[in-house]
Amino acid sequence: ALKTYCDVIVPMNDLKWEALRHERDSFDFSGADELVAFAIANKQALRGHTLLWGEALPPWVKTMSSRAEAERELIRHIEVVVDRYRGRIATWDVVNEVIRFDPREGGPYRDTIWQRLLGPEHIDIAFRTAASVDPKARLVLNDCNFEEADAGTAERRKAALAIIRRLKDKGIPVHGLGMQAHLYGENAIDSHGIQQFMRDLAALEVEVEVTELDVIDWKLPADSGTRDRASASLVAAYLDAVVSARPPKAIVTWGLSDRYTWINETFPRKDGARARPLPLDADYKPKPMMAVLGRYRRGAG
């Protein structure tokens, strides 16, 4: 299925800190290396996810207590990881989910070990370091919840624009914004808001990528056919809004088959039915969502 449908491969978990650095002084690249080799063997592009996130961290990271220590470990981590895959991983989610879910409550940044020890500059350090190690890599700010019509979402868009503007004003390379697009099946898409957001990003001269597309279907009807059609319609509404304003650099789903998805555990259905968030069902058969993606295909994987 990966060979048939995907132009882009993303290691979902194997490049996160908890997978790479069980211990402070050593790196375990076994899982990531396997996926990188698979992509290269099949002539597929690679996106690296992720160099900096406030979650999926090994326990030792949370014992850090000083600014100097946090900066030293962050720089070392990015230098080692980006250098290992230089020339093979063309695009990196440099910073992931740094914006607070609702920026109106406590400011724009999530409360993480990096924010507590380094402040907003941890974003600058991450992008600057990645650029210094691989000047040819595309560097992306990746975040979620840009697609709904509410005040909190509007503030998230403003926060993303402010971060990108600040990096550019400092001369720090940032090439794109990754919009995760974990779409809630019960919520409508704010097409007008997305289109304006695309125009605002274009004004900052950064590209847009859809990076983690799936549908959280925990509140959709139980019937699988009805659910699949509703999910496909939601994905179509979202992608129509994005593409009508500006073609994205890539469209990447967060997984490929319903057999393997994070949504079952994180958003379980009350009726006990398994989630159906992805373009292939649990038996790897295409669903209506795959037909929708086929209309926009620039790299779904």
Active-site residue set: 97, 212
| DSSP assignment string, the chain | -HHHH-SEE--SSTTSHHHH-SSTT----HHHHHHHHHHHHTT-EEEEEEEEESSS--GGGGG--SHHHHHHHHHHHHHHHHHHTTTT--EEEEEES-B-SSTTTT-SB---HHHHHHTTHHHHHHHHHHHHH-TTSEEEEEE---SSSSHHHHHHHHHHHHHHHHHHHTT----EEEE--EEETTS---HHHHHHHHHHHHHTT-EEEEEEEEEE-TTS-SSHHHHHHHHHHHHHHHHHHHHHH---S-EEES-SBTTS-THHHHS--TT-PPP--SSB-TTS-B-HHHHHHHHH-S---
